[in-house]
Structure 1
Amino acid sequence: MRQCYLILFGLFTCLPAMALTFQTRLESVEWKVEGDQFECRLIQPITDFGSGAFVRRAGEQAVFRLNAYNSMLGEGSATLLAAAAPWQPGRGDISLGAVRIGRGQVLFNSSQSQAGGLFRGLLEGRSPVVRHYSREGQVSEVRLLPVKFRQAYADYEACTVKLLPRNFEQVRQSRIGFPGSGTELDAQARNSLQVVVDYLKADPTVNHVFLDGYSDNTGNRLTNRELSRRRALAVMDYFKENGLQESQITLRFHGEQYPLAANTSAVNRAKNRRVSVRLERLPVPEKSVPITSTTSSSEVR
């Protein structure tokens, strides 16, 4: 059963019976763009509810996030729609699939493909809609409006151009390979290390690098241990050349220990010739303040 209502911004439309709709009045709609090198956000505040936001982290595509001050939707499954506007007769809503409503301020994060569908819908004048059905048959909707979207989207796109190529989770652990039997960094290794260097320069909270060198089982153990040391040193030198202090680097070498694959073929042995790079945020020790004793003038002889 469907009934027709005057929605908050004054347009006549039809929704399922008993629908409770949250959205901002047409004349009050705004989009906000926020961000830095690590994350860009395109946000529409929703009156008396919270906000809907597209969030794109460095190294990833955007997701759509629904935030609530005090959600009245309730937990459970909801449908995500790119809904046709009432002034677009003959156009049906596009269902983008289900999302799972949870507790807390962030009710859900959509998939990247769902966010892409919402972007396309907004550029066509459609509204992102979250529709939730309670067990009692109550229908609740949260709706964003496409008003003023194109300019905000252009600003958001300008923000995403400045994002780093990778986020912390993506650069936190990496593997630098040595396809040959030597200790020199090839072009691929340098490119991989440069991504890590760029992140370290952008995020001063990441203040320590752990390097672990390895070899295959070709040769004797002493030779392999020395090769693993020299490979780790080659990576350390690259970081030092790019501004990292040696005190920020912990270097270890393990020879042929801890292989990634059995040393039974040339391909497997190449996998084992490597340096593992791990980034950490270590607490910075507080500088101690020297205790100064004072003597009153009455004690001076």
Structure 2
Amino acid sequence: MRQWYLALLSVFASLPAMALTFQTRLESIEWTVEGDKFECRLSQPITDFGAGEFVRRAGEQATFRLKAYNAIIGGGSATLLAAAAPWQPGRGDINLGAVQIGSGNVLFRSSQVQAARLINGLMDGRSPVLRHSSGDGRVSEVRLLPVKFSKAFSEYQGCVARLLPKNFEQVKQSRIGFHGQSIDLDGQAKAQLQEMLEFMKADPTVNHIELDGHSDNSGNRLTNRDLSRRRALAVMEFFKANGIQESQITLRFHGERYPLAPNTTAANRAKNRRVNVHLARMAPTEKPAPRATATVSAASTS
């Protein structure tokens, strides 16, 4: 413990003149882990300032953000560092680049690359440091310490292992393709729909599905329209078989009217044979926005 205090004294001695440093006293440092299937957070409170926090959303890598109670640090650019520990002589700080300081509760969010390097630094005894210089020459620093990090990081990794494969922005829309004149779901299509289904089961607020069936122009217009309907029905039946109520599904079919690409090549026609699936959060009294095309309710297509 005495070595830690001596090391911290050397940190203060090495700071530029007029520097203002925010960090928690050594004996009070704690890392906390919170999260669920959608997001994991690993944070260290910073006395009289706020908190530094690693955040990892489902389907993404972690980012680092700095939260402040008040507008203590002015706006503009600041430097993010993985600062060397003073008890490891000969090691320099790692400059992770500039970040822009905002005016809200969250001062900045790092890139995923910067966050990964901060985590690696903490495992190596380094401190995440934000250094900001004002126009009058004053320097402000916000510092997290690596004390107790390894144990907390292990708990955080346990949280990460329970995250869903994707977050809502990544899973809310999908395009299900079909071969030739087929209306059958292949393995890839079922895997795509399964991801959407798992998210709906994890988040009950995602409670509505919109299905839009499409075809290429290989057949006549009536045949193509019927194909697009039967493909949308195939997707609807997948969801119904896995516990989704028919009342939660809106089904539309458009035939060849809305191609993604000109039907001039086999590859383009494959793109156009599809069902677009869209997940939504809807209040009980809310209805899907109407579209200027043939629309039927799920009940009327059975």
Q: TM-score, normalised by structure 1?
A: 0.91
- SS of equivalent to 1:226: helix
CA contact 1:49–1:71 (8 Å) conserved in 2:
no
2:136 equivalent in structure 1: 136
1:30 equivalent in structure 2: 30
1:204 equivalent in structure 2: 204
Rg larger in structure: 1
Note the residue ranges of structure 1 that are not aligned, 5 or more in a row.
Answer: 1-6, 287-301
**Shift in Å, 1:262:** 0.6
CA contact 2:65–2:110 (8 Å) conserved in 1:
yes
**1:94 and 2:94 matched:** yes
1:12 equivalent in structure 2: 10
CA contact 1:52–1:64 (8 Å) conserved in 2:
yes
Supply the AA of the counterpart residue of 1:155.
Answer: E
Supply the AA of the counterpart residue of 1:198.
Answer: E
Supply the AA of the counterpart residue of 1:262.
Answer: P
CA contact 1:9–1:26 (8 Å) conserved in 2:
no
CA RMSD of aligned residues (A): 1.4
In structure 2, C-alpha distance between the alignment counterparts of 1:84 and 1:140, rounded to whole Å:
18
CA contact 2:259–2:272 (8 Å) conserved in 1:
yes
Q: TM-score, normalised by structure 2?
A: 0.91
1:295 equivalent in structure 2: none
**Shift in Å, 1:123:** 0.3
**1:219 and 2:214 matched:** no
Aligned pairs for 1:208-247 within 5 A: 208-247=208-247
In structure 2, C-alpha distance between the alignment counterparts of 1:198 and 1:26, rounded to whole Å:
43
1:297 equivalent in structure 2: none
In structure 2, C-alpha distance between the alignment counterparts of 1:199 and 1:43, rounded to whole Å:
26
- SS of equivalent to 2:15: strand
Identity of aligned residues (%): 71
**Shift in Å, 1:271:** 0.3
1:80 equivalent in structure 2: 80
CA contact 1:8–1:25 (8 Å) conserved in 2:
no
Greater share of helix residues, 1 or 2?
2
Spell out, residue by residue over 1:7-38, the C-alpha distance to the aligned partner (whole angstroms, 9 max, x if none): 99952220122111110001100000000000
- SS of equivalent to 2:146: coil
Count of residues in correspondence between the two structures: 280
**Shift in Å, 1:285:** 3.7
1:178 equivalent in structure 2: 178
Supply the AA of the counterpart residue of 2:170.
Answer: Q
CA contact 1:49–1:68 (8 Å) conserved in 2:
yes
**Shift in Å, 1:71:** 2.7
Supply the AA of the counterpart residue of 1:11.
Answer: L
